[in-house]
Structure formats: structure tokens, C-alpha cells
């Protein structure tokens, strides 16, 4: 399912991160061990206000909100992502 959370309240984003098994200090997204999560494609630290959550191979994939990461994601997961969008929109 694709849900836009860009303008969601920070409190909602914090709860979502925790529900997915991650941590946060309210600024950065952290892994289960408390280490700041880095974008898979750019190696940028992922801020809670700039995160995007996509379906990945082993669960949710959290990326930084930038064009390069989105392009790289669609290159790697394109077919799966497109099928999911089509199914969600009954296309």
C-alpha cells in the first residue's frame, strides 16, 4: 500500500517508525540497535521529516526523500512497485 506521510504530524511518524521496529530520537530514524539509519543509495542520514517508506525484499525499506533514491529504488524494485500501485488503485 502506498500512503503519503510527508505532511503527517511528527507524532504519527514516530509511532509508525516504532511500529515497524525502528527507533527515533525525534530527529533521525534509527535501527533496532539505536544506530542512525542511512539511505541505501546515498548513504545520507535519514531524518524522520524526510523519510519515505517503500516495500523492500525483507520488509519495509526506509529511504531519504530525494530524487536519486526514488530513481534507484524504482530501478531495483520497479516491477514489484508498479504492480503494488496498480493493485492499490484497481488498475
- CB-based burial label for 6 (10 Å; 0-12, 13-18, 19+): exposed
> What's the pLDDT at 1?
53
- For residue 5, is it within any domain? no
- For residue 1, is it within any domain? no
Q: Does the pLDDT of residue 3 top 70, yes or no?
A: no
- For residue 3, is it within any domain? no
Question: Per-residue pLDDT tens for 6-65?
Answer: 889 999 999 999 999 999 999 999 999 999 999 999 999 999 999 999 888 888 889 999
> What's the pLDDT at 85?
64
Backbone angles phi, psi at 52, to 5 degrees: -130, 140
Number of structural domains in the chain: 1
- For residue 67, is it within any domain? yes
Closest CA to 61 of 79, 83, 45, 38: 38
Q: Is 32 helix (H, G, I), strand (E, B) or coil?
A: coil
First to last CA, the chain: 14
- For residue 2, is it within any domain? no
- For residue 75, is it within any domain? yes
> What's the pLDDT at 7?
86
Its domain, for residue 71, covers 10-88
Amino acid at each position: 500500500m502506498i500512503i503519503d506521510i510527508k505532511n503527517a504530524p511528527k507524532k504519527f511518524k514516530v509511532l509508525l517508525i516504532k511500529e515497524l521496529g525502528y527507533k527515533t530520537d525525534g530527529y533521525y530514524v534509527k535501527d533496532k540497535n539505536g544506530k542512525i539509519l542511512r539511505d541505501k543509495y546515498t548513504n545520507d542520514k535519514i531524518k524522520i521529516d524526510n523519510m519515505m517508506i517503500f516495500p523492500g525484499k525483507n520488509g519495509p525499506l526506509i529511504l531519504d526523500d530525494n530524487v536519486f533514491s526514488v530513481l534507484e529504488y524504482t530501478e531495483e524494485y520497479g516491477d514489484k512497485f508498479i504492480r503494488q500501485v496498480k493493485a492499490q488503485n484497481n488498475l
